[in-house]
Chains A and B, each alone.
Chain A
């Protein structure tokens, strides 16, 4: 390698990037950042973006509009950050076209920053509190998400100007073995869920014989309820690209793949553009930055198979085959894609690599717990106020994440459980909330870290139905190779369906537990080995709900449709109000005697629309379980046309 040449090339890149970044960051013009990742788009960010573009043009306002990724505060989407000379950068949430119009006329044209729409400022100032004063920031530590939502993912210069590709520059100046040593020293563990020490994996790959090696980024984020990989790919794609180049340099690989899930079209597009830009700048391809090291990346789109998140299945899929896992060893680090040594790491693991190389292993290992270093990104969803992403040091407790960062349970409902780690994880109850989260503590509790998806359930969710849902998922996603997984999950699913339909038998629970053990032992890959986890944890922590379904034919949360009926309390119904009648999708509600509304149980599909429609001052629609407690209601009158006959 020619250190001088590399240094010169890198400094040139930095100079250009800084000039580009400064041109918008120098504060002479107002700057509008709009988060247009997939979640932002779903809440109307593109319409807001177009509106800003149009209005600024018509009103002749000189401002820079930049499309950025997501900050992870998805609950406030669409979000807009406005920086105007003389004001701190201000973060606005829930922006509609109406609010956008006010921001343009009052703030960009006038001098009123419209505090009523602001979530907070992003820098210390005298006029408005910063968002960092909110309770969540006491616990949050943003590393992987630090750039997300603040840089343009489509412009490599934004990344370079924010310390990007500096770690790669450092890597090219040193011996590859030093890089592996640094990663090993840092204690980085695979953030895809399994938690295998990354440095060790890389060392095995480097020590394997042969000239050809591969690096794969596993971006097949299949766990329902997890969206942090998607956010990183869409908001800060270059951190993943840089991590891959460093990994390739460390192990001596010449080509790599990013395997992105089919359901993430925007992530695929942004990764492709990031790879192309890196290639243009000489950061990918032959003789990277003038060194003797060459590496290139191909972005590959998955085809919708959950099991392909498993490393050997992903490799099979890359080779154009059915995504069938195979037995290990040999591990991919010695025999991976096309039989060559391959390192396959999750998006977050690779995105962490540049930070560790740039800041040193000591910095990284100072964060977290003795066995799990660094931070973890969690996706908060379900019954929680602040849905979105949270990045906290390992060792933060579940209670801090759910209540302080996530803002607790909406509508004053009671917390019931938190589901961690997707279909492979488990449901943990209130009593486990003080558990500090790291790889090992979660395993002990029966859940797994998994991808980091965290779905919060409240008193209105049925645990048996949730277990049934996960089994339905794993059963349909089982690749079918191992009999225990293919048929065992089907057996468990039918038992759970029986229980939710009131056909459960007292010894079903024992049967479920036996099947769970067999499936765990008889399956080759993580999917089968962990598929019974949601059932086992719900039985362990919510046994009473199973008993209520089986013995009393009662669903305590009043969710299971076959065990629950909707009923309008005649004492509470207002008579003259027709709210429920109009919204019922199956016209199951009719006017009974004296105008009191009655639900025709034959027609009712139990969708719950009438519960929401009934004005809060009446709350006349009740859910009743078990069915034996449903009071008799008057029969539906014959249609008038028939009576005339």
Chain B
């Protein structure tokens, strides 16, 4: 398993430890369910199946209830997110300034549909309802950074930036490896 993959699919023991540490912070009270799920997601990036059953056990409620609550809310994710997370805003202001066109551009360039993560876990694409930056519409949130006035050309530009970054990283690691070899 390469380093990159490991950061997204932690081994079971790691998950178990993380979850046990999170649960320690809470009282076993039904009202804490959403806070616990938020905590797990902010630590692991998503809600693995194992975490859902652990949380159910901890709160003494059926797995189905945890799953039902978690799937109700848009924010919870059940597959690991990509290394680069792209959230396209489709609020009203973005919509009337061509937000759906921007979403289509991302979908086309990444060959993904909204809600999907690429097979190599490099990118995940989501739509969000409104990030409250309506003055800069159309907006996309790329890795926590709010990009304003996005155009189809800018979409290509952002992805090109990531490509270059990846290439540079790759060169560095291969240089290092060849350096180590000699």
Contact = CB atoms under 8 A, between A and B. Distances in A.
A171 interface: no
A571 B32 CA distance: 68
Contacts of A42: 133, 136, 139, 146-148
Contacts of A609: 151-153
B129 A227 contact: no
B128 to A, nearest CB: 6
Contacts of A321: 33, 69
B101 interface: yes
B131 A612 contact: no
Contact of B129 (A263, A319, A381, A608): A263
A303 B34 contact: yes
B10 interface: no
Contact of A263 (B31, B69, B131): B131
B73 A304 contact: yes
A224 B93 contact: yes
Interface residues of A, number: 60
A310 to B, nearest CB: 14
A607 B152 contact: yes
Interface string A222-259: 11111100100000000000000000000000000000
Contacts of A303: 34, 37-38, 73-76
A607 B150 CA distance: 12
B148 A43 contact: yes
Interface stretch (A453-461, A485-493, A502-510, A519-527): A453-461
B92 A422 contact: yes
B68 to A, nearest CB: 6
Contacts of A383: 96-97
B118 interface: no
Contact of B135 (A77, A302, A470): A77
B69 A607 contact: no
A67 B32 CA distance: 34
Interface in B148-173: 148, 151-153, 155-156
Contacts of B146: 38, 41-42
Nearest to A320: B33
A381 B75 contact: no
Interface in A143-171: none
Interface in B1-46: 30-35, 37-38
B156 A323 contact: no
B105 A607 contact: yes
B108 interface: yes
Interface in B65-120: 68-69, 72-76, 90-98, 100-101, 104-105, 108-109
Contacts of A224: 90-95, 129-130
A74 B153 CA distance: 24
A224 B94 CA distance: 9
Residue of B96, B131, B146 most packed against chain A (CB within 10 A): B96
Contact of B96 (A264, A317, A382): A382
Q: Is the interface of B mostly helix, strand, loop or mixed?
A: helix
A585 interface: yes
A409 interface: no
A537 interface: no
A216 B146 CA distance: 30
A562 interface: no
Given A303-B38, A320-B31, A607-B104, A382 B75 contact: no
A607 B32 contact: no
B96 A461 contact: yes
Interface residues of B, number: 49
Contacts of A302: 73, 75
Contacts of A381: 92-93, 134-135, 137
A125 interface: no
A74 B135 CA distance: 6
A388 interface: yes
Nearest to A262: B75
A579 B95 CA distance: 26
Given A38-B132, A382-B96, A382-B137, A225 B73 contact: no
Contacts of A455: 92-93, 96, 134
A247 B181 CA distance: 70
A396 interface: no
A457 B174 CA distance: 53
A188 B155 CA distance: 46
B41 to A, nearest CB: 9
B132 A317 contact: no
Contacts of B35: 300, 320
Given A223-B130, A320-B34, A43 B136 contact: yes
Contacts of B30: 319-320
Contacts of B94: 224
A322 interface: yes
Nearest to B101: A607
A419 B92 CA distance: 9
Given A320-B31, A605-B108, A38 B156 contact: no
Contacts of B104: 605, 607
A225 B38 contact: no
Contacts of B68: 322
A586 B108 contact: yes
Contacts of B135: 39, 74-75, 77, 381, 387-388
A105 interface: no
Contact of B69 (A41, A262, A320, A461): A320
Given A320-B69, A607-B152, A227 B75 contact: no
B72 A305 contact: yes
Interface string A597-627: 0000000011111001000000000000000
B69 A473 contact: no
Contacts of A470: 92
Given A75-B135, A225-B130, A264-B132, A322 B69 contact: yes
Contacts of B69: 320-322
Nearest to B68: A322
Interface of B: 30-35, 37-38, 68-69, 72-76, 90-98, 100-101, 104-105, 108-109, 128-137, 139, 146-148, 151-153, 155-156
Given A469-B100, A607-B104, 6 more contacts: A38-B132, A41-B146, A43-B148, A301-B38, A320-B33, A585-B152
17 contacts: A39-B136, A42-B146, A221-B132, A222-B129, A224-B92, A225-B92, A230-B132, A263-B132, A300-B35, A303-B37, A321-B33, A379-B134, A381-B92, A381-B137, A383-B97, A455-B93, A612-B151
